Chain A
Amino acid sequence: MSVNEYDAIVVGSGISGGWAAKELSERGLKVLMLERGRNIEHIKDYKNAHKEAWDYPHHDVPTQQMKLDYPVLRRDYPLNESTFGMWANEKEAPYTEDKRFDWYRGYHVGGRSLLWGRQSYRFNEQDFLANAQEGIAVDWPIRYEDLAPWYDYVERFAGISGSREGLDVLPDGQFQPPIPLNCVEKDVAARIKKAFAGTRHLIHSRCANITEPKPEQGRTNCQYRAKCWLGCPFGGYFSTQSATLPAALKTGNLTLRPFSVVSRVLYDKDKKRATGVEVIDAQTNQVIEYKSKLVFLNASAFNSTWLLMNSATDVWEGGLGSSSGELGHNVMDHHFRVGASADVEGYLDKYTFGRRPAGFYIPRYRNWHKDKRDYLRGFGYQGSASRQGWQKDIREMGIGAELKAGLSEPGHWSIGMSAFGEILPYHDNRIYLNHQVKDKWGLPVLVMNVEIKQNELAMRKDMQADAMEMFEAAGLKNVKGYDSDYAPGMGIHEMGTARMGRDAKSSVLNKHNQVWDAPNVFVTDGACMTSASCVNPSLTYMALTARAAAFAVEELKRGNL
């Protein structure tokens, strides 16, 4: 093989790219993993991992200059000094909006695996059936049983903490011991269970923070510092850097190339196969071709689709995978920022020690079993209870020593939760190329045209009212509902745009995540999703990626690719 030739190329190094690299290289393939951004080496490059607010010039507050430079990021919480440089440069890589879309991107080795929320839930059986039963979009080409063994497999390796609950709505997995609930959450859980006759469950979150060490991976259990986003020097949570990348490198089969902007998939229209990819070196602008037998697209949902749109345009004007008319369509996210908070009386002889990376979870119960609503699908809640810190109501404390003393003691307990709801796959929620606006490398950028519709708006009413109802039923005080509005993208769970399906006419990918028009091209990140469920999606990308990689290697050996 020449230096520019590999068995497989993986585009992207985030959660799914890391899995693809690991699975393909462990199966003996020579793999090139391409990452458009800089390298971040595990531990060594986590430059802020041990810093506190006082170690930053502005105590972790974003400056006005940062807000000017990051007009998208400043719309929500991610812009701060501690994670600065971990989000895509918006000037170098812009996008345009027909409708507001908040796109939070991690352009560096590890991608958003360093910055993710780490909540890890399986889709349930119904999640794979609902589209077909309800006549929404298209049927998933796979069922829960197809993915279950792969969920087992990725959970064991990634390390997911959680409790086995025996709920059909949220299938159990291969869990490490859960992150504990605190005394208030346990009591509220018991009261909710009683008030709703066992139909609603407040349980431990399921989280990719490990509660037992994984010495074989060199990872220590979570230290409860709540600094996950700065990169964990303990390897306390699953990321490309802490888990999949070291495993892939250990095989000796992986080459990682940062600063590699993949501009298109090279396509042989006679053989109907991809032959490799074209790369622009992000620093030198040099254009390089890499050849391979397999191409895995794991560039994050929208960027994998962008790459397809920019490939094989001599054959299909809309790009590789566009023959179905579905490429770029059916954008999904999870809608949220709606829920309730309440005050909790008592428990003043109890406090907490340690900073948890996750709180509690209430799985979906709407449109489940006998429950029937005037909208489709459902939502789950994430929340936590805690005692107030110095940021509490201080009207009565005046100023001076009394104020200081008052603020230096914890306040009363309060509890809050936010609902995460399913967004249906609508054909007209789409992204497409804008050839008028170019990025730093002269490549066309994406246009976002996405909105939530009647089903989601109806669901949001329940998302707020139910949260209030549960807190009131649990006897809590000062219950306040909220709906802080949601703009598409804020969930940072972009899905769809290259969905899996049962035929080439209505979907971009088949049941093994192969592009119908180029079976040696696999897309296994959020782009492949046919529906969104209401649970956090990353665990499903991991399982789909591991499954597709195993299949790809078998097919390669059989001479089919």
Chain B
Amino acid sequence: MERRELLKMIAAATGAAFIGNPLALAAESAQRLGTGFSADDVLLLNEVAETIIPRTDSPGAKDANIGQLMTRLVSDCYLPSEQALFRQGMQKLNEAALSQFSKPFLLLEQKHKHSLLTELNDEAYRYNKQNKVRHWELGRPGGTPDEDKVLPHYFTLFKQLTLFGFFTSKPGATQVLRYVAVPGRYDGEFPYKKGDKAWAT
């Protein structure tokens, strides 16, 4: 498939209007992003993030452009070893999509994206348990140079960046969670009923 055609299909499949004209994307290099990632990568990562945290009656990961944030966190905050695993993960994800559905991840139907990532999520839990990897998916992104930490399954990186990025993003914090900039008081017995949202901070 020609790249232009692929991009058209991706744009149609993902509604990636905020990225700009998909035909222009081919010319837009990694330099524009300044992260070593391309606009295509951002498209892919936004789809991964959206599958983990989808738009429901409230915004999802794509609304917060988590794909773009992921590339920034990976290139600036991840250790080289984490970056390498992340990039391998992007490749492995597409390989898994091709072997199961004969399509790249971006062209999968929503339900197939969901089932593939659900499988990878389970695989990641098994892998992390076997390798005694802890505190990854809820941790702050980025290791410290002299720390000797075992790396998790690559999907755990996608999940970590999606959850951290989304719930600290404005749409995630203010529309999916609750946020009050200046509470002005503290109430230690504030009434709660099932369904009320958690505070963002």
Contacts and interface: CB of A to CB of B under 8 A. Distances in A.
Do A and B assemble together?
A: yes
Interface of A: 50, 52-54, 57-65, 67-68, 74-75, 179-183, 185-186, 223-226, 348-356, 387-392, 394-395, 398-401, 403-405, 407-411
B137 to A, nearest CB: 7
Contact of B190 (A225, A351, A388, A404): A351
B46 interface: no
Nearest to A53: B168
A400 B52 contact: yes
Contact of A52 (B69, B186, B201): B201
Given A59-B165, A61-B73, A354-B186, A52 B142 contact: no
Interface in B17-69: 51-54, 56, 58, 60, 69
A399 B159 contact: yes
A355 B163 contact: no
A354 B184 contact: yes
Given A59-B168, A400-B54, A404-B176, A356 B198 contact: no
Contact of A407 (B56, B60, B167, B173): B167
Nearest to A186: B188
Contacts of A392: 138
A226 B79 contact: no
B77 A223 contact: no
B186 A353 contact: yes
Interface string B167-201: 11110010011011111111111111111111111
Interface stretch (B6-14, B96-104, B114-122): B114-122
A391 B138 contact: yes
A490 to B, nearest CB: 15
| Residue of A67, A75, A398, A400 with most chain B CB atoms under a 10 A cut-off | A400
A85 to B, nearest CB: 17
A223 B141 contact: no
B192 A350 contact: yes
Contact of A394 (B76, B137, B192): B137
Chain B contact surface mostly: loop
B184 A223 contact: yes
Contact of B145 (A59, A67, A353): A67
Interface of B: 51-54, 56, 58, 60, 69, 72-73, 76-79, 114, 117-118, 121, 125, 137-138, 140-142, 144-145, 159, 163-165, 167-170, 173, 176-177, 179-201
Chain A contact surface mostly: loop
B54 A404 contact: yes
A127 B56 CA distance: 59
20 contacts: A53-B168, A61-B141, A61-B142, A63-B76, A63-B142, A64-B78, A65-B76, A67-B142, A74-B145, A224-B184, A352-B187, A356-B186, A390-B167, A390-B177, A394-B138, A399-B117, A400-B54, A400-B118, A404-B54, A410-B192
A484 to B, nearest CB: 12
B183 A409 contact: no
A52 B190 contact: no
Given A354-B185, A355-B183, A408-B198, A64 B54 contact: no
Top 10 closest A-B pairs, CB basis? A182-B188, A354-B183, A351-B192, A53-B168, A354-B186, A353-B187, A353-B190, A410-B198, A224-B183, A63-B76
B182 to A, nearest CB: 5
A403 B53 contact: yes
Given A64-B79, A401-B56, A349 B192 contact: yes
A268 B174 CA distance: 64
Nearest to B60: A404
B198 to A, nearest CB: 4
A68 B182 CA distance: 35
B189 A183 contact: yes
A408 B192 contact: no
A97 B184 CA distance: 44
A62 B191 contact: no
Given A59-B168, A60-B168, A391-B138, A399 B121 contact: yes
A31 to B, nearest CB: 36
A68 B77 contact: no
A223 B69 contact: no
Given A68-B145, A387-B198, A399-B51, A179 B186 contact: yes
Contact of A404 (B56, B137, B140, B195): B56
Nearest to B190: A353
A180 B193 contact: no
A401 B165 CA distance: 17
A274 B137 CA distance: 58
Contact of B191 (A65, A225, A226, A349): A349
B140 A350 contact: no
Given A53-B173, A349-B191, 11 more contacts: A52-B170, A59-B165, A61-B140, A180-B187, A225-B183, A390-B177, A400-B51, A403-B53, A408-B177, A409-B194, A409-B195
B132 to A, nearest CB: 16
A408 B197 contact: yes
A369 to B, nearest CB: 31
Contacts of A62: 77, 142
A183 B191 contact: no
Contacts of B189: 182-183, 350
A348 B192 contact: yes
Nearest to B78: A64
B197 A409 contact: yes
A349 B193 contact: yes
A230 to B, nearest CB: 13
A456 B135 CA distance: 29
A224 B201 CA distance: 11
A180 B188 contact: yes
A59 B194 CA distance: 29
A226 to B, nearest CB: 7
Nearest to A349: B192
Contact of A389 (B137, B165, B199): B199
Nearest to A397: B121
A348 B193 CA distance: 8
A409 B72 contact: no
B52 A403 contact: yes
B167 A58 contact: no
A22 B164 CA distance: 44
A54 B197 contact: no
A52 B117 contact: no
Contacts of B186: 179-180, 224, 352-356
Given A350-B190, A352-B186, A353-B186, A399 B168 contact: no
| Residue of B159, B177, B183 with most chain A CB atoms under a 10 A cut-off | B183
